[in-house]
Structures are given as structure tokens and as C-alpha cells.
């Protein structure tokens, strides 16, 4: 038997420590929670993606009574970005969650499906996506989906 350790590294910033452009992206993700349709969970998630031309697009989670027919905020924003701006890569993605009248203290990470989609977009455009996960007690920042998905399934996985 062998054992392997996988370490996920990220930085944690207080809101005021973030660069102006990072605060702008986080604020847009926080604002996007207002467009969430979450009548069942009341867990509202917003995402904001900055494109290579500086455009920011947003998305929010959209629930459906026929669970799991809804979609997450991250995928809503990313799929919209790719549909509306197919020639622009996503360079940064911010995520924020709101429930019970307040934003969460600790950041929420993207679900497994969203992590795989972010990784796929990194592969499509051949560049990493910087990810900011907002929490009132700190924003986690990582330079790529690969840090959130250390065992990756990519197109290369099917060639080996």
C-alpha cells in the first residue's frame, strides 16, 4: 500500500486587505445573491466572473421543485460568460453566499460539479481562473481550480 497526501493551498484576506479590483468582484458576487431563486433552501449564492477584456458577468443559484434541475451560481455565471462572450476567457471568479439575513462567516467552496466546470473552462482557454470565495471573516483566494480539485479529470485523462 502507498499513501499520498494532497494539500490545498489558498490565501485568506480580510475584506479591507483585498485589492480594489478584488473588492469590486466580490461586491458584484454579493449583489448577485439578490437575484437568486432559492424558495426551498433559502440559501442564496451569487457569483461574478471577470473576463479577459475586463467585463464582469454575474450569476446566481436557481432552484427548481424538480431537484436537481436547478443550477449553481458559479455555473450560471460561467455558462453565461461563455455564451455571451465566447472569445473572452474567464480570468477571475468570486462567490458569495447569503442565508438567514446575513452573508456567511466562512466562505463556501464550489460544489464538485462547479469545480469540474471551472477546470474545464481553464482547459478550454488554456489559462487558470483565480477564485475568490467570500466570507465575512475572510476571503479565500486561490490561483486556479486545480487547488480546489487536486485529483482532476480532464480531456487528457481519457487519453491515457
Catalytic, out of 3, 24, 63, 74: 74
Which residues are within 8 A (CB) of 53 and not within 5 positions of it... i.e. 6 or more apart? 85, 88
Write out the three cell numbers for 53: 477584456
Report the DSSP beta bridge partners of residue 115: none
Please say if 17 is a catalytic residue: no
CA atoms of 28 and 57, how far apart (whole Å): 9
In degrees rounded to 5, what are phi and psi of residue 26? Answer: -60, -45
Known catalytic residues?
A: 74
Amino acid at each position: 500500500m502507498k499513501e499520498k497526501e494532497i494539500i490545498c493551498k489558498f490565501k485568506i484576506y480580510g475584506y479591507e486587505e483585498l485589492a480594489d479590483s478584488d473588492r469590486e468582484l466580490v461586491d458584484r458576487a454579493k449583489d448577485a445573491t439578490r437575484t437568486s431563486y432559492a424558495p426551498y433552501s433559502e440559501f442564496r449564492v451569487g457569483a461574478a466572473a471577470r473576463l479577459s477584456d475586463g467585463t464582469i458577468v454575474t450569476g446566481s443559484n436557481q432552484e427548481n421543485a424538480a431537484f436537481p434541475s436547478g443550477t449553481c451560481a458559479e455555473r450560471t455565471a460561467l455558462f453565461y460568460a461563455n455564451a455571451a462572450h465566447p472569445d473572452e476567457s474567464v480570468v477571475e471568479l468570486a462567490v458569495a453566499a447569503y442565508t438567514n439575513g446575513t452573508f456567511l462567516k466562512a466562505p463556501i467552496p464550489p460544489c464538485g460539479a462547479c469545480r469540474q466546470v471551472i477546470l474545464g473552462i481553464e482547459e478550454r482557454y488554456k489559462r487558470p481562473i483565480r477564485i475568490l470565495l467570500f466570507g465575512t471573516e475572510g476571503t479565500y483566494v486561490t490561483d486556479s481550480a486545480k487547488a480546489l480539485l487536486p485529483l482532476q479529470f480532464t480531456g487528457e485523462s481519457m487519453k491515457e
